[in-house]
Chains A and B, each alone.
Chain A
Amino acid sequence: AQTVTQSQPEMSVQEAETVTLSCTYDTSESDYYLFWYKQPPSRQMILVIRQEAYKQQNATENRFSVNFQKAAKSFSLKISDSQLGDAAMYFCAYRSDETGTYKYIFGTGTRLKVLA
């Protein structure tokens, strides 16, 4: 069975600085997607970025980028120029596309604090 691990329960970053949130996963499949979601205090889940396993190029969305290391099964999120509004829980998620179930598996989350 697939698993997703976020080993950092909490991280802090100074405003305008850069922070990296780590995520590792375990799978024997080759066809899958990876996602980062943000959950601010409102608790609304918001998609931050996605990565298809077949694509070697790391995904980028404005100040958010990933470091996707397929062989190492690592999918870290880098947030540049951190802003106060980035403070939230961040969840890494894996979606299996190979078996046709398209089920999402979430990590336990990392709470990001942004210091003014």
Chain B
Amino acid sequence: NAGVMQNPRHLVRRRGQEARLRCSPMKGHSHVYWYRQLPEEGLKFMVYLQKENIIDESGMPKERFSAEFPKEGPSILRIQQVVRGDSAAYFCASSPHPARQPQETQYFGPGTRLLVL
């Protein structure tokens, strides 16, 4: 059973370009979380999705950032018109349905390091 997959592992963009980060959850997991981590800091919650539905996006900036988790395919975190301050590690985590398996936790992918030049 493959773990959570994220790609690309490293992404370099120039200011004003778009960044697309992909996350494939573990098999059988229906929920995906996205976090941002700045150097030497903790994880900041961004958004929490289940398939075709955003459950909580309270941590996501209102502009330029969007996330989706379609019925088929990976979850996508999209950052439009990137700025230098978007440079960070973006982690995805997946879990089974928490209400059905509350004892289960989220499992993390290896992260995508975004560098904006």
Q: How far apart sit A44 and B9, CA to CA, in the bound complex (Å)? A: 12
Given A45-B108, A47-B107, A50-B105, A105 and B45 touching (CB < 8 A)?
yes
Among the listed A47, A104, A108, which residue makes an inter-chain contact with B33, where contact means beta carbons less than 8 Å apart? Answer: A104
Q: Kindly specify which of A61-69, A76-84, A95-103 makes contact with the partner chain.
A: A95-103
Interface residue range, chain A: 20 to 34
Residues 97-117 of B contacting A (Cβ, < 8 Å): 98-99, 102-103, 105-108, 110-111
A residues 7-34 with Cβ under 8 Å of B? 33
- B82 in contact (CB, < 8 A): no
- Asked whether, in the complex, the Cβ of B56 is within 8 Å of the Cβ of A101, the reply is yes
Which of chain A's residues have a CB closer than 8 A to the CB of B55? Answer: 101-102
User: Nearest chain A CB to B52's CB is how many angstroms away?
Assistant: 17
Within 8 A of B (CB), among A43-63: 43-47, 50, 52
